[in-house]
Structure 1
C-alpha cells in the first residue's frame, strides 16, 4: 500500500467487527508516523476493543501531549456513532500537512479514538437476521430464557424488525384519516371505529390465545450505566450491572483513561435526538461549579455554531423520566476525573422532516399527528418509502393473520438512512478539533544558567501554558485532587560526588497554570491581578564542575511535558 494513500472507506455502510479491525490497521499501515492501533481489552464474547492513537510521533510520545478522547457505539444498535469516529479519523489523516489546524493538532496533541466500545452488541445488530438491543450481549440480570411472552425479533426474515398490527375492537390504535398507512392513537372516549392492537415484531412463547406480555431483552446490561461514578444497583438504575466497572468493555475504557491522565476532554457519540448533551446528569446547573458551568456553556455554544445541533443540560432537558436521574460516562469523566465531557446524540429524523421546536425525549411521549404526517412525507420523498414500511399480510405462527409494517426504527430512527450518514458525521470534526486545540499545552519559555562562583551555579527553568484552558482543565479536577501543579525535575549525574544540590529539590511542585481564555470582559470593574498566571519558574542552586550536562523537565498531566538539557558553562 502506498504510504500516503489512505484506505478507501464508505461512510454509508456499517462495518462488521472484522472489517472494522482491518480498516483501522490499514490506516496505521498507510500513516505509521501518525497512527497506532491498540487493543485495550476484549469484550464479553472475546472481541478486541480497538483504540486508535493519533499524534505525530516525531514531535513526542502521545502521553507527553494533551489528550482528547472520543468513543462511539457503547450502545449496540447505535452504529452511526462508529461512523462519526471513523469519519474524524479519516478527516484528520486526510488533512494532516495541508490544513493548518489539523497539522497543529496532531503535532501538539494526541487524539484517542475508540470507534466501537460494544463490539458484541454491534455484531448482533449487523447480522442478516438482526436483533436490536441497547446493551452488552451478556445475559443480565438473569440467564434463563423467558417461559412465555413475546420476544422481539425479525419474524419474516426481511432483515428488519417492524410492528405487527391485528384488528381488535379493543385496540388502542386506528388508521389515520389523512393517510391510512399511519397508525395513530385512539382518542379518549372514542368508540365505533376500526381499531387495532399493535405488537413489536416477534414470536410468542406459550401463547394462551388472549394475553401477550412483551419480554425485556435478555441482554439487559447497559454499559453506559456501569461506570464507577454515580453507580447504583439494579433496583435504582436498571442495567447498571452487579458492581461498578464489572463489564470488560467498561473496565477497558476506565483503565485506559486512568492510564492516560493527559486526557483533558472527551466526547461520546450515541444516537439519536440531534443534540449535544452536557453534564450534569445527577444534579442541576445551580449545583455545578460556576466556572465549570460557564466553560461548558461556552464550548457547547461553539458546538451549536459549528454543527447546527442544539446544546442541552442532561439534568434539565434530557431525562427519561422527570423523577429519575441518569448517570454514566459523563458523570465519571467529569464528576470523578474533572475532564470536560459531552454526549452527542447524532441524528434527528424529526428535524429532517421539518418538525421545529421538538423537545427530544418529551416528543416521544406525546406529539401531534401533524408531526407523524410530516415524517411520513419525509419517508416517501427522501427515503424511498422505507422509513415507514407499507403494511403487508403475514401468517404469524401464534397470532395467525397479521400485517407487518410501520416505522423502521433501526435503519431510519436509531440511525440515519445510508445516504445521510456521512453528512451527519461531517458536522463534527471542526468542533472536536477546536476543543482539542483549546486543551492546555505546556511550553518551554527559557532555561538559564548563571555562575555564582567557580563551581556554583544558579539554574532557572521557565514554562508557560499556551492553551486556552487551564492546566487543570476544570475546577472539579482541583476539587477532586486529581491534578497537581506543574512538576519540575532536574536530573543529576548518577554517582558523581562532585555534583550536589545547594538549593531547590530534584523534584518540585509549582503552581497551577491558567490558560489564555478570557476570565472577564475588558469592562470588568476590577482588572485581572494574575496577568502572568499562565507562567511558572523553577530555580536550583548547585555545586558542580564546569562542563557538567544536566537534564531538566517540567510536566503537567493534562498539559504535557517539556524537556531540555543545559551545560554549565
Structure 2
C-alpha cells in the first residue's frame, strides 16, 4: 500500500521537450520511486560542465548490473534532435512501470541490465530549447576556432517567436519562384527561364558587415559533430566535417566510450537520432559483402524484427543512407560494432514525408531531387494536420540589414527534425517492444549443475571432484558477433576456483578459460539442412580435484564478458 511518504513514479509528458533541470529532476524521481530497479549515475561532464546522466536498470535483488548482460540506448547526441531524448525517456518509463506486470519486461530486468542515456549532449539541447534558440549540430564548444563571425549570415531567431525559419528576398537573379498553383511554395527556376518574379532563399538570421551585394551563410561557430568524434574510422576535418581534433577529444563522446569500454557486459545497443523514419545498421565504411556473413545474417534477422515491430524500414548505412554517393559517414555504431563487435543500430525517428502520404521516397536522396507533387502533399499535411504551422505562411519583416523581407517556410525544428507535439509519444512508442526483444536476445550464462563428489581419503585427507556445468540461455552467442572474435574483444568462458583455508588443488588450475558458448539462434547457412556436429555448443563444464577436509565449501565463479557472471558456493559434505 502506498503511503504518503512513499515516492510516486513520475508521469512525464511526452508531447513536450524537457529542459536540462527538468529532465534531471525526472530521472531522480524514477530512482527515488524505484530504487530496487533504477540507479542514476553521472558518466562525465559536458563542455559546459553539466552532468551526463546514465540510468542503470536491473532488478538488484537478482544481481548487480555489471554481472549481467547489458543493453545500451542513448539519445540526443545532436542538439536539436530532441525526440531522440523522448524515445529513451519513454523506454525508461515503460521498463519501470511494466516491471512486475509485463512478462517480458520483468524477465528482462530480472536477468539482464539496461543502460540508458537520454541526453548525451545536454549543452546543445539547452541551446535548442532556449527562448531564442539556435540550432547547431552538436556541442557548444567553439570549433575549429573560437571566433565570432565578422561578416556573413548567422542563422538565428530574428523576430523572437522561438522559431528559426527562412527568409525570402525578391531578386531578379534569384534561384526560386512562387509555385503557380500555391504561391506559398517556392520552387526552382527552370533552365533558360527569365522574365518572372524571382527570389533568393536563405535562413532566418542576422548579417554582419553586409556590403549590400553578397550574402554568405556562415558555418556555426560551434562546428563540432559529436557523432564524428568516435574512434571507429575517425578521419580529420577535411574528410569528415566536425570530427574534432582527435578521436574522443570531446568530453561527451569520451564519457560514452569510457563507460562502454569499462562495461564489457554491453552486447548490443541503439542510438536514437532524428529524422527519416528508418533503422540503420552497419557497416558505414564497407559493403555488406565485406562483413562476416554470420554477422550480416544476424543483423538482417534482428533488423527485420525491428521493421515488423516499429513500422520503420531497416537499411544498410553504406548501401542506402549516404549523404553523398562518393563519401562514407561514421559514428557511434561504427565504433561499437566495428571496434568492439557489439551489435548496434542507429534509429532516425520520424518521417514527415510518410506522414504526408509520400511513400515512394528514399531518405537522403529525396532531398536532392523530388517532384513538386511531394511538396504539395506536405503543404496539405501542414494545413490539415498541423494547423498550418509546419509550413509557416510568409509574412513581412523589416530586417535590420536587408530591409523588407518575408519570413516563413518550413519550421524544421518543430516539424521536420522533430514531430509536432501531438505525434511525439506515438513515435516514441514504436520502439520499446523491439528494444526489449533485442535485450532479451543477449547471451545469458546460467548454472546447470554444481556438485562436490567425495572420492575418499588419501593420507587421512578427503579428496573431492568439483564439477560445475553452465550453459548459455540466450539467443546470441556469448561472444555476440564474429567481429568481436576477429577483433579479440571477447574471450571464452572463464572459470575460477576459490578454495577454503587448508584446502589444496590436486588437478586442474585455479583459473580455466573454456570455450565460446553458442546461443540458441539457428545457424543461418545451408549447413542448417545438415546434422550439426555441435549439438551442445551452448554448454561447458569445469572440473577440479581438490584435497580438503569435510564441512567446508569451495567457491566457483563462471563468467563470460557479455553473458554475465555466475557465483556458486559448493559445500564439501559426505
Same fold (TM over 0.5): yes
TM-score normalised by structure 2 residue count: 0.97
**2:556 corresponds to:** 552
Equivalent-residue separation in structure 2 for 1:244 and 1:181 (angstroms): 45
Equivalent-residue separation in structure 2 for 1:274 and 1:524 (angstroms): 34
Deviations 1:12-63 (Å, cap 9, x if unpaired)? 0100110010000000011010000001100000001000000000000000
Equivalent-residue separation in structure 1 for 2:527 and 2:219 (angstroms): 58
**1:473 corresponds to:** 480
Asked whether 1:50 is paired with 2:50, we answer no
Asked whether 1:138 is paired with 2:141, we answer yes
Equivalent-residue separation in structure 1 for 2:106 and 2:538 (angstroms): 24
What is the aligned counterpart of 2:398 among 372, 395, 407? Answer: 395
**1:104 corresponds to:** 107
Structure 1: 5+ residue stretches without partners: none
Asked whether 1:418 is paired with 2:421, we answer yes
**Alignment map for 1:200-279 (pairs within 5 Å):** 200-279=203-282
Equivalent-residue separation in structure 1 for 2:329 and 2:200 (angstroms): 32
**2:531 corresponds to:** 527
Equivalent-residue separation in structure 2 for 1:171 and 1:82 (angstroms): 39
Equivalent-residue separation in structure 2 for 1:383 and 1:89 (angstroms): 28
Deviations 1:295-324 (Å, cap 9, x if unpaired)? 100000000000000011000000011111
**2:11 corresponds to:** 8
What is the aligned counterpart of 1:460 among 460, 464, 467? Answer: 467
1:192 CA displacement:
1.6
- Secondary structure at the counterpart of residue 478 of structure 2: coil
**Alignment map for 1:67-82 (pairs within 5 Å):** 67-82=70-85
- Secondary structure at the counterpart of residue 456 of structure 2: coil
Is the Cα contact below 8 Å between 2:273 and 2:347 reproduced in 1?
yes
**2:186 corresponds to:** 183
Asked whether 1:562 is paired with 2:571, we answer no
**2:44 corresponds to:** 41
- Secondary structure at the counterpart of residue 419 of structure 2: coil
Asked whether 1:303 is paired with 2:310, we answer no
Equivalent-residue separation in structure 1 for 2:244 and 2:529 (angstroms): 52
**Alignment map for 1:268-347 (pairs within 5 Å):** 268-347=271-350
Asked whether 1:512 is paired with 2:519, we answer no
Asked whether 1:92 is paired with 2:95, we answer yes
TM-score normalised by structure 1 residue count: 0.98
Is the Cα contact below 8 Å between 1:3 and 1:29 reproduced in 2?
no
Deviations 1:117-168 (Å, cap 9, x if unpaired)? 0000000000010001112100001111111100000111111000111111
Task: Identify if the C-alpha distance between structure 1 residues 528 and 141 changes in structure 2 by more than 3 Å, giving closer, same or farther.
Answer: same
Is the Cα contact below 8 Å between 1:2 and 1:30 reproduced in 2?
no
Deviations 1:357-387 (Å, cap 9, x if unpaired)? 2110100011000000000000000000000
Root mean square deviation, CA, Å: 1.1
Asked whether 1:196 is paired with 2:199, we answer yes
- Secondary structure at the counterpart of residue 458 of structure 1: strand
Is the Cα contact below 8 Å between 2:76 and 2:272 reproduced in 1?
yes
Is the Cα contact below 8 Å between 2:556 and 2:569 reproduced in 1?
yes
Structure 2: 5+ residue stretches without partners: none
Equivalent-residue separation in structure 1 for 2:528 and 2:553 (angstroms): 48
Is the Cα contact below 8 Å between 2:294 and 2:524 reproduced in 1?
no
* Larger mean Cα displacement after TM superposition, 79-88 or 194-203: 194-203
- Secondary structure at the counterpart of residue 150 of structure 1: strand
1:98 CA displacement:
0.5
1:5 CA displacement:
3.3
**Alignment map for 1:362-511 (pairs within 5 Å):** 362-454=365-457, 455-493=462-500, 496=501, 498-511=502-515
